[in-house]
Structure 1
């Protein structure tokens, strides 16, 4: 299991991106959270098996229908948090 931090840039707020991310996370057995950032980006912290995270990331790069994803930055985090589910943070 690994833990990653994802920053998504583009037109990603006000288009259902957090809801989309939550559904995709559940479909790929990913735990963690998603939140909007003040600068207009979306931040995600995700834990899961590498093969599940790859599918999750591929979907995040596409985004929901009305979003425009310009850039996705991913970095691996050293420790596992042990989240019990995936949630939206406000």
Structure 2
């Protein structure tokens, strides 16, 4: 593992038409392809919540994709909170 590669953690709250459009499943597939760890879940208020960890460049690529989402999604806003990298996850999962 290259010690120069910066690892980051981001907590996202995605608003818009993001439930019922397979957003979680597409995000999981892309996260796994980018070797990003964490989780994604639907919230009671219609938003999608995501916590991700990985190489900074790859995390930013996933966030860029989240702004577009799958074809039938309409992403209105993403609140991003950068957090301390914790190496908390072994995989990327869909919760609840």
Task: Give the structure-2-normalised TM-score.
Answer: 0.89
- What is residue 4 of structure 2 aligned with on the other side? none
Are 1:54 and 2:60 counterparts? yes
Structure 1: runs of 5+ lacking an equivalent:
none
Distance 2:62 2:85 in 1: 20
Distance 2:19 2:78 in 1: 14
Secondary structure in 2 matching 1:74:
strand
Structure 1 counterpart of 2:83, from 57, 70, 77: 77
2:9–2:84 CA contact under 8 A, matched in 1:
yes
Are 1:15 and 2:24 counterparts? no
Structure 1 counterpart of 2:39, from 33, 36, 48: 33
Measured on the aligned residues, the alpha-carbon RMSD in Å equals 0.9
Tell me the number of residue pairs that the alignment of Structure 1 and Structure 2 aligns.
90
Greater Rg over alpha carbons, structure:
2
Secondary structure in 1 matching 2:81:
strand
Shift of the alpha carbon at 1:82?
2.3
**Stretches of 4+ moved more than 3 A in 1?**
none
